[in-house]
Chains A and B, each alone.
Chain A
Amino acid sequence: MKKALEVARVVFVNHLKSLWRAYDLKKPRRSPSLLLLVVQYAIALLLAINFVLVAHGRLSSLREYWLGIRPPKNELMNLAGDVLSALFTSYLLTHYFKQRKLVVITPDHEFLLYQPLQPKELYAGLVIGLYTYFTVTFLPWLFIVILFTAPWLGFTIFYFFVYIMFADPILFIVSSIVRKSGHSNTALSLAVAYIAIGVAHSAIATALDSWPRVSPLLTYLVKGPYLLAIALCESIGYIAILVCLVFTISAAVLVIYIGGGRLDVSDFTTLGEAYEVRLRQALAKSLKRDVLVDWSSTSDAVRKVVLEFTVYNPRAVLRRYMPLFISLVIAGYALRCVLAIYEPSLLRTRIFDYVAILAYSMIPGVLGTFVGELLSNELKYLWVTRVYLLDLNHFVKPLLAKYVIVYFVILSSITGFLASYRLNPLIALAPLVSSPAIVLSVFITIRLSLVLTKRAKHREPSTSVYRLGIVPALDPVAQLLLALVMTSGLITSVVTATIVELISLGALTYWVVLIVATASVWISYSLIKLLCKPLAMFLAKTDLYL
């Protein structure tokens, strides 16, 4: 355990160091990430001061306002919570036994693989170090929940956070033990049988009641700890939940350490290898293509390779997102019908706008994925394009088009849901109206991704491919660049949401929307043509490190 704790210390300190890696005592402004952390804690401190004021009733109106706009608690919300819990439980139970899972080690911790450590020490150390870091960065935001809602909710969320956090490594160890004993299929069958019993129980309970019910078998694995935390808070108090937290964490760490004894070196892999496996699987599923042995022109060959020979090729995107789009459109309409029957009053409220806000807020994350994809594909072999392609315009056009298409399709899924839920087909045209913002956002993403390649070179050995998904491991400048990319996604989301609102409120008539959408598409097309040249020039002239 001593070695595991040492590994944990290294992992934790390494992550923390990434926050002030560029920190210079003489020039503290060089460390934007440290500044961000300080700002984060400053906000939490200000909120803490506010909390005192709220306690004295000075700002109670703000709190009441916040409580007033929270989604109301009712049967429908409970049902939604139950369904989500059931889906999550089903996912957890089947996910871990379907295929072999590996512990993925980020490049800055690859050296740990070559130390005289037992697998259990390495694994426990990684888990403890990483989770301690997550907890430290998560805590300030917990203050907000505590202050604006209620302390019990904050503690409950923290308890739930800890539970979810440790569920993953424990389930990983269990699945690993099961796999090594050769009983993966049996375990998967048992998990499926358990889910089937839960579904049957839900069906019976629904038949006996007038309202859809979800079996506790499917919900309590997720809801249980949450309810326990609430019960503890209400009956014994916050000290009890703190004691419970310490007990839960200690027990989880012990289980991970002891269970980790069944792991071996083949259970660990590097991020680069894991990405290659993921890419291989994604390509096998989504990419059926012809062999590139003939081409009509240079631009034809580049278009084939950039646009069609990747996981984001239009056919694969259509195949992947069309079912999502159709499901969301149907779900939006079904939701409207169900509400009209059971809770017509909710149709007049803005309750499902929260769902849309949640969906919009995922867009910056999508851009983060684009950065990862760019760094792993097009920019990774940009040297080929730089040296052999004489006119980079041939490369830039399909590159911009590819990411604009994916971005557009994802936004369309959100607006498709809202259009069918509000029975207003004009809403579905919102992404067309906001398409210039989409083009600009993709342009910013590609441009900043190229700058990120420079940061990558200094952070990692040339044989290790740089990936996203390891944001804490990036240096502060890279984190800042990533934040800029995501901000551009946020702006696009806000623009689209505003257009949706304007259409919903009737501020834009049918003809206005059509004319503006047509104009926007034309502007987007012109923008792509206009931006190609500077982007091509930037790609041709900037220093290339990958």
Chain B
Amino acid sequence: MEVVINVMNELEPFSTRSISAKYRVLVAKDLVKRFGEVVAVDGLSIDVFSGEVYCLVGPNGAGKTTTLRIVVGLLKPDRGSVVIDGYDVWTSRREALMRVGYVPDYPNLPSYLTPLEFLYYVAALRGFKKFDVEEYVRYYVDILNMSDDVKKPIRALSRGGLQKTAIAASLIVKPKLVVMDEPLTNIEIDTQVTFKREILRLAREFGVSFLISSHMLPLIEGACSRVGIINKGKLVLEGSMDSVLRVIGERARFEDVYMKVLGRDVEESARGS
């Protein structure tokens, strides 16, 4: 644990100072999604800029997964729109989705393929040839610590193995926006650290944007440049990590802010700031 904390401290969180100069990769505006009488997402709007790592956090059932599914076009919002790199997900599906990688909360994958086959299959779905992605596949298999499992059938993988396969698939297609729902659940600590380094590298060097839903404080505090706290389908607090921490004073920890916000104590002041 000590080692992990040290490594995390070495990772400088992505700077948000120049965000305004960058362009919006994702514009999700006024999203509403109802399931019967339950309002899962209630007028939520999110913008994600190029090269930004945006973390969506909130309690279970807050609407995080539904929001991410709407963003990648798996659920149709009752109201609102999702525009990725200038293309609407529902009216220009092809153009919008060709810029997206996605990791669901529980990745159901074709159980009779091997992870290696699955990665090539995903590349083929996007129209890549083998030589286009071969290097990427090798790289992500290596850094995500998948070498031992890559030729086993997917059905033989652990939950972490499934998660790594889905993460690798989302990155080999050279996306502009990667949407990840609880990507680090069940993944071993060393790979978590590598993962954080990698998303920061992709964001800095290639301007790849990330929209990540997570409950993992090390990921949120160590990698996210901007954070949004969602509760009952509404965004109750949003801002850069620094500004969010300042909501309750100097030297605050994110968990304190989170608890306060969900306790509604500082909701109004946060909106004011």
Write the residues of chain A forming the contact surface with B, with a CB cutoff of 8 angstroms.
276, 279-280, 283, 287, 291-295, 298, 300-302, 305, 309-310, 377, 380-381, 383-391, 462-463, 465, 540-541, 543-544, 546
A478 to B30, CA, bound (A): 33
Q: Say which residue of B74, B112, B114 sits within 8 Å of A279 (CB atoms).
A: B112
Q: B33 — nearest CB in chain A belongs to which residue?
A: A543
B120 within 8 A of A: yes
Which chain B positions have C-beta within 8 A of A292? 113, 117, 120-121
Contact call A387/B110, Cβ cutoff below 8 A: no
Q: Say which residue of A293, A295, A387, A389 sits within 8 Å of B74 (CB atoms).
A: A387
Which chain B positions have C-beta within 8 A of A384? 109-110, 122, 125, 169
Contact call B76/A462, Cβ cutoff below 8 A: no
Which chain B positions have C-beta within 8 A of A385? 125
Known contacts A279-B112, A293-B117, A295-B130, A390 near B124 by CB under 8 Å? no
**Chain A nearest CB, measured from B75 CB (Å):** 5
Contact call A387/B121, Cβ cutoff below 8 A: no
A292 to B110, CA, bound (A): 13
A379 to B105, CA, bound (A): 17
Which chain B positions have C-beta within 8 A of A380? 108
Contact call B121/A305, Cβ cutoff below 8 A: yes
Complex A-B: 5 CB contacts under 8 Å: A279-B155, A294-B120, A294-B130, A383-B104, A386-B74
Number of interface residues of B (CB under 8 A): 36
Q: Say which residue of A305, A309, A388, A540 sits within 8 Å of B126 (CB atoms).
A: A388
5 smallest beta-carbon distances between A and B, as pairs? A301-B124, A388-B125, A292-B117, A389-B125, A544-B74
Contact call B113/A387, Cβ cutoff below 8 A: no
Contact call A390/B108, Cβ cutoff below 8 A: no
Which chain B positions have C-beta within 8 A of A300? 124
Which chain B positions have C-beta within 8 A of A391? 94
Contact call A310/B112, Cβ cutoff below 8 A: yes
Which chain A positions have C-beta within 8 A of B100? 387
Map CB proximity to A onto B90-121 as digits: 1 under 8 Å, 0 otherwise: 10011001101010111011111110110011
B127 within 8 A of A: yes
Which chain A positions have C-beta within 8 A of B169? 384, 388
Known contacts A295-B130, A310-B112, A388 near B73 by CB under 8 Å? no
Contact call B104/A291, Cβ cutoff below 8 A: no
**Chain B nearest CB, measured from A384 CB (Å):** 7
Secondary structure dominating the interface of A: loop
A377 to B108, CA, bound (A): 9
A76 to B14, CA, bound (A): 84
Which chain A positions have C-beta within 8 A of B124? 295, 298, 300-302
A283 to B75, CA, bound (A): 33
B41 within 8 A of A: no
Contact call B112/A309, Cβ cutoff below 8 A: yes
A258 to B64, CA, bound (A): 50
Most chain B CB neighbours (cut-off 10 Å) among A283, A292, A540, A541: A292
**Chain B nearest CB, measured from A128 CB (Å):** 34
Q: A463 — nearest CB in chain B belongs to which residue?
A: B106
Which chain B positions have C-beta within 8 A of A465? 108
Interface residues of B in 66-101 (CB under 8 A from A): 69, 72-76, 90, 93-94, 97-98, 100
Which chain B positions have C-beta within 8 A of A305? 110, 113, 121
Q: A311 — nearest CB in chain B belongs to which residue?
A: B112
Contact call A381/B98, Cβ cutoff below 8 A: no
A389 to B125, CA, bound (A): 5
B244 within 8 A of A: no
Map CB proximity to A onto B143-172 as digits: 1 under 8 Å, 0 otherwise: 000000000000100000000000001000
**Chain A nearest CB, measured from B35 CB (Å):** 9
**Chain A nearest CB, measured from B162 CB (Å):** 11
**Chain B nearest CB, measured from A18 CB (Å):** 19
**Chain B nearest CB, measured from A317 CB (Å):** 16
Known: A305-B113, A462-B105. 19 other contacts (CB 8 A): A279-B112, A293-B130, A295-B130, A298-B127, A301-B121, A301-B124, A301-B125, A305-B110, A381-B110, A384-B169, A386-B74, A387-B74, A388-B169, A389-B126, A391-B94, A540-B93, A543-B74, A543-B75, A543-B76
**Chain B nearest CB, measured from A41 CB (Å):** 31
**Chain A nearest CB, measured from B74 CB (Å):** 5
Contact call A383/B127, Cβ cutoff below 8 A: no
Which chain B positions have C-beta within 8 A of A302? 124-125
Q: Say which residue of A287, A541, A546 sits within 8 Å of B108 (CB atoms).
A: A546
B31 within 8 A of A: no
B173 within 8 A of A: yes
A293 to B118, CA, bound (A): 9
Which chain B positions have C-beta within 8 A of A390? 93-94, 97-98, 125-127
Map CB proximity to A onto B24-37 as digits: 1 under 8 Å, 0 otherwise: 00000000000000
Which chain B positions have C-beta within 8 A of A291? 114, 117
Which chain B positions have C-beta within 8 A of A276? 111, 155
Q: B100 — nearest CB in chain A belongs to which residue?
A: A387
Which chain B positions have C-beta within 8 A of A381? 108-110
A328 to B235, CA, bound (A): 65
A544 to B102, CA, bound (A): 14
**Chain A nearest CB, measured from B60 CB (Å):** 12
Contact call A293/B110, Cβ cutoff below 8 A: no
**Chain B nearest CB, measured from A222 CB (Å):** 38
Q: Say which residue of B108, B114, B121, B126 sits within 8 Å of A383 (CB atoms).
A: B108
Which chain A positions have C-beta within 8 A of B104? 383
Q: A378 — nearest CB in chain B belongs to which residue?
A: B110
A163 to B130, CA, bound (A): 59
Which chain A positions have C-beta within 8 A of B111? 276, 279
Contact call B75/A544, Cβ cutoff below 8 A: yes
A278 to B226, CA, bound (A): 46
**Chain B nearest CB, measured from A376 CB (Å):** 9
Which chain A positions have C-beta within 8 A of B98? 390
A283 to B155, CA, bound (A): 12
Which chain A positions have C-beta within 8 A of B122? 384, 388
A387 to B155, CA, bound (A): 21
**Chain B nearest CB, measured from A393 CB (Å):** 12
Which chain A positions have C-beta within 8 A of B110? 305, 309, 377, 381, 384
A295 to B122, CA, bound (A): 12
A217 to B269, CA, bound (A): 86
A388 to B173, CA, bound (A): 9
A103 to B63, CA, bound (A): 37
Which chain A positions have C-beta within 8 A of B75? 543-544
Which chain A positions have C-beta within 8 A of B74? 383, 386-387, 543-544
A386 to B98, CA, bound (A): 11
Contact call B73/A287, Cβ cutoff below 8 A: no
Which chain A positions have C-beta within 8 A of B94? 390-391
A293 to B150, CA, bound (A): 13
Most chain B CB neighbours (cut-off 10 Å) among A276, A279, A388, A465: A388
Most chain A CB neighbours (cut-off 10 Å) among B116, B125, B155, B173: B125
A388 to B100, CA, bound (A): 8
**Chain A nearest CB, measured from B113 CB (Å):** 7
Which chain B positions have C-beta within 8 A of A543? 74-76
Contact call B76/A541, Cβ cutoff below 8 A: yes
A301 to B114, CA, bound (A): 14
A302 to B120, CA, bound (A): 11
A544 to B65, CA, bound (A): 12
Q: B173 — nearest CB in chain A belongs to which residue?
A: A388
Q: B93 — nearest CB in chain A belongs to which residue?
A: A540
